[in-house]
């Protein structure tokens, strides 16, 4: 039915008004949601939906335009009617279910979203249909051919009457236009008000208008905080808890305003000038906290409408589905696993895998699907069933699927030949200058051994990139010191700083330089002044009172790893004996998984580093407990508590051994 309603919005002109068909579709959709969410007796609601669909088909049959869109809508309605008839037959054999009240006590979200139950009518979208073709005025009957003078005089009189009628109509239309113009001219403009408080600036809002206005304000808050939820480089991941709380408070406020506020969100987003992923995320996040299949369906409708214009909204929709507490998410995604669009199937398996709800059978089926779906499913399959990943990974590589997620799956499942393939991607000429080379270097840093460290060092000395140089620090072999010391003075500053970070990751020396940043200044281009010309100083100083000229902006400083080879050489000469060759080190200590856990739990690592640390924990412990740096802060803390005893298990410090996946 939703498909039929969307189809009727197309570009065509029906011969009759299709408003009755549109209203019937809206009633049918509302009745179906009433049945699903038990707002009324399911059998009664299903029968009402069937009756409304019959009315819609009758109304569509009146159109004689021959439009393909109308025919498509009619077929969609017919298919929906068949499904409803089957549901009615099934429900007739069941006892009458009592109507369930949705009025429950609502609890405010703490640090995690709550699923709110609101007593309200089902949410349906407005089915818009184009206006019918204008009615053509009936042409007057042709005059009979005159055969006598009397008949000729009668025809002349009739023609005169018709001409007079047309002139009278034109005069009436002109008079109406003149009257409207005079009425508009008589309305005098309001008198200018004195400066200061203007009591008439904003009219008083009615209660429905006030609720819609507040819902809009808090929805924009959800949109903004959704964009800010992930920490920036240099920020502690725990600090974003206050942003998450702010987002959840805004959602709670919208729900607390009641049914009209919830119902206003879909039209609000549809009318927004920007059809972007941020608003799709915000709507899905908000309605995902409102119980009822109709709430989730509203987010689906907006996603499908926006996806046609901007495919990047898939990311916003998927990100929200991973976080919401809605009880119909799994059913929706299970249906999407058999969708015709491969991107929708990829979203379904990715979200199910993230939520820990994907079964091994579902992951195996997705791993043999289209390359887009397979590349998404294989990392999840590698965590759940590493022993089943071999053939699907080989098939996906042969099919040309995206290599980065496939490499990720190979690392997580301890796939044969992983290190060799990553080393070839880093050292070979094929990916020179490609982001894939950096991705391969990062993964080689967490899974590689001493031989891989040597080949990576040679590749970076030949063609260094910041990500590849920093991967030498992840491998943790002190034998890379000579190469890193030479790269400190590389002409590319980013490569030099990456070498400093790699040295610090191995040694933990924390040799940093305080770098002064240039303050940002806003330069306003002024039009040429024939008398004065362009000012040599900023506009703010030119227009300021000489007694209150703004001071020079203060300089900002940041700490960055030192690029001074002398400092690092002196440190290595003094402490290098503590870093015995042949062992793996992290922050000056022989490597153990506990060091990875401490950094993952600490405040310093960036978002990208924390994702890589989570992969390293799997590689170096052989376990695959759930963790994602994109989850809510409290969920991450719960996952870390599950990881803590696993990471603390006794291992040989500094060993290059990797336990097999189990």
Q: Domain spans of the chain?
A: 2-92, 103-128+207-327, 592-662
Chain centroid offset of residue 294 CA? 20
Q: Of 171-185, 315-329, 339-353, 572-586, give the lowest mean pLDDT range.
A: 171-185
**pLDDT greater at residue 2 or residue 356:** 356
For Cα atoms 409, 413, 419, give the angle at the middle one, nearest 5 degrees. 80
* Confidence class for position 143, pLDDT limits 50, 70, 90: confident
Instruction: Identify whether the C-beta of residue 29 lies closer than 8 Å to the C-beta of residue 2.
Output: yes
The mean of the pLDDT values for the chain is 87
141: number of Cβ within 10 Å: 7
Is residue 402 classed exposed, middle or buried when 0-12, 13-18 and 19+ CB atoms within 10 A define those classes? Answer: middle
Q: How many Å apart are CA 407 and CA 173, to the nearest integer?
A: 75
Instruction: Identify whether the C-beta of residue 111 lies closer than 8 Å to the C-beta of residue 242.
Output: no
Instruction: Identify whether the C-beta of residue 13 lies closer than 8 Å to the C-beta of residue 132.
Output: yes
Q: How many Å apart are CA 234 and CA 658, to the nearest integer?
A: 31
Please give the pLDDT value at position 99. Answer: 56
Res. 535: pLDDT tops 70 = no
Instruction: Identify whether the C-beta of residue 106 lies closer than 8 Å to the C-beta of residue 279.
Output: no
**pLDDT greater at residue 241 or residue 512:** 241
CA-based nearest residue to 246, from 220, 280, 274: 220
Bridge partners, residue 590, by sequence? 585
Count of alpha carbons within 13 angstroms of residue 338, beta-carbon side = 3
Instruction: Name 261's Cβ contacts closer than 8 Å, sequence gap at least 6.
Output: 211, 212, 214, 215, 254, 255
Count of alpha carbons within 13 angstroms of residue 538, beta-carbon side = 12
Q: How many Å apart are CA 654 and CA 575, to the nearest integer?
A: 17
Is residue 511 classed exposed, middle or buried when 0-12, 13-18 and 19+ CB atoms within 10 A define those classes? Answer: middle
Please give the pLDDT value at position 60. Answer: 84
Please give the pLDDT value at position 549. Answer: 76
The per-residue DSSP string of 543-591 comes to HS-GGGPPPPPPPEEEEEE---HHHHHHHHHHHGGGS-TTS-EETTEE-
Give the position of tokens 């879909």. Answer: 266
Q: How many Å apart are CA 448 and CA 610, to the nearest integer?
A: 18
Listed ranges 150-159, 241-250, 649-658; the one with the highest mean pLDDT: 241-250
**pLDDT greater at residue 83 or residue 141:** 83
The two three-digit tokens of residue 574, written as one number:
């003094």
Instruction: Name 237's Cβ contacts closer than 8 Å, sequence gap at least 6.
Output: 231, 603, 605, 607, 610, 629, 633, 636
Please give the pLDDT value at position 599. Answer: 95
Q: Which option is the CATH number for 2-92: 3.30.70, 1.10.443, 1.20.58, 1.10.10? A: 1.20.58
């Amino acid at each position: 039915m939703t498909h039929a309603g969307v189809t009727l919005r197309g570009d065509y002109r029906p011969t009759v008004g299709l408003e009755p068909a549109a209203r019937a579709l809206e009633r049918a959709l509302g009745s179906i949601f009433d049945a699903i969410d038990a707002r009324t007796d399911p059998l009664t609601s299903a029968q009402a939906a069937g009756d409304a669909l019959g009315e819609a088909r009758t109304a569509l049959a009146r159109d004689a335009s021959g439009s393909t869109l109308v025919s498509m809508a009619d077929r969609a309605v017919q298919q929906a009617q068949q499904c409803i008839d089957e549901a009615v037959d099934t429900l007739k054999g069941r006892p009458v279910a009592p109507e369930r009240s949705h009025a429950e006590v609502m609890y405010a979200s703490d640090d995690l979203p709550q699923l709110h139950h609101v007593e309200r009518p089902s949410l349906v979208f407005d089915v818009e249909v184009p206006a019918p073709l204008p009615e053509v005025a009936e042409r007057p009957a042709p005059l009979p051919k005159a055969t006598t003078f009397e008949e000729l005089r009668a025809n002349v009189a009739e023609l005169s009457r018709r001409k007079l009628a047309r002139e009278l109509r034109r005069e009436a239309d002109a008079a109406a236009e003149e009257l409207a113009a005079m009425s508009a001219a008589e309305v005098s403009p309001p008198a200018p008000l004195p400066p200061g408080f203007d009591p008439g600036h904003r009219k008083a809002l009615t209660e429905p208008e006030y609720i819609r206005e507040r819902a809009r304000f808090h929805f924009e808050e959800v949109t903004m905080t959704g964009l800010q939820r992930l920490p920036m480089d240099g920020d502690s991941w725990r600090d974003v808890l206050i942003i998450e709380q702010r987002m959840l408070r805004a959602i709670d406020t919208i729900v607390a305003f009641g049914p009209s506020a919830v119902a206003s969100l879909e039209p609000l987003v549809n009318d927004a000038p920007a059809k972007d992923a941020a608003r799709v995320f915000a709507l899905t996040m908000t309605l995902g906290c409102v119980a009822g299949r109709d709430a989730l369906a509203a987010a689906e409708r907006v996603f499908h409408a926006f996806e046609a214009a901007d495919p990047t909204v898939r990311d916003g929709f998927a990100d929200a589905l991973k976080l919401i507490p809605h009880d119909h998410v799994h059913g929706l995604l299970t249906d999407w696993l058999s969708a015709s669009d491969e991107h929708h199937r990829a979203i379904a398996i990715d979200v199910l895998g993230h939520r820990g709800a994907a079964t091994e059978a579902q992951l195996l089926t997705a791993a043999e699907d289209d390359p887009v779906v397979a590349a998404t499913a294989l990392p999840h399959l590698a965590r759940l069933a590493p022993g089943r990943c071999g053939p699907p990974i080989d098939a996906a590589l042969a099919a040309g699927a995206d290599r980065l997620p496939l490499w990720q799956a190979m690392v997580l499942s301890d796939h044969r030949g992983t290190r060799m393939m990553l080393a070839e991607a880093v050292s070979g000429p094929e990916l020179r200058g490609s982001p894939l080379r950096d991705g391969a270097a990062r993964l080689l840093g967490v899974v590689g051994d001493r031989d891989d460290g040597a080949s990576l060092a040679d590749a970076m000395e030949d063609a260094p990139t910041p990500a590849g140089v920093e991967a030498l620090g992840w491998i943790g072999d002190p034998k890379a010191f000579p190469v890193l010391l030479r790269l400190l003075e590389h002409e590319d500053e980013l490569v030099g700083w990456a070498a400093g970070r790699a040295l610090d990751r191995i040694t933990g020396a924390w040799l940093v330089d305080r770098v002064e940043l240039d303050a940002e200044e806003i330069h306003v281009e002024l039009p040429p002044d024939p008398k004065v010309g362009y000012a040599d100083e900023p506009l703010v100083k030119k227009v300021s009172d000489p007694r209150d000229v703004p001071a020079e902006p203060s300089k900002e400083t940041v700490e960055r790893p030192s690029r001074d080879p002398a400092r690092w050489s002196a440190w290595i000469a003094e402490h290098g004996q503590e870093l015995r060759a042949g062992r793996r080190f992290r922050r000056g200590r022989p490597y153990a998984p506990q060091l990875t856990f401490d950094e993952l739990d600490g405040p310093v690592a960036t978002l990208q580093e924390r994702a890589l640390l989570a992969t390293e924990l799997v590689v170096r412990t052989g376990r695959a407990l759930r963790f994602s740096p994109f989850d809510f802060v409290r969920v991450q803390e719960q996952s870390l508590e599950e990881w803590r005893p696993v990471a603390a298990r006794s291992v040989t410090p500094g060993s290059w051994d990797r336990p097999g996946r189990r």
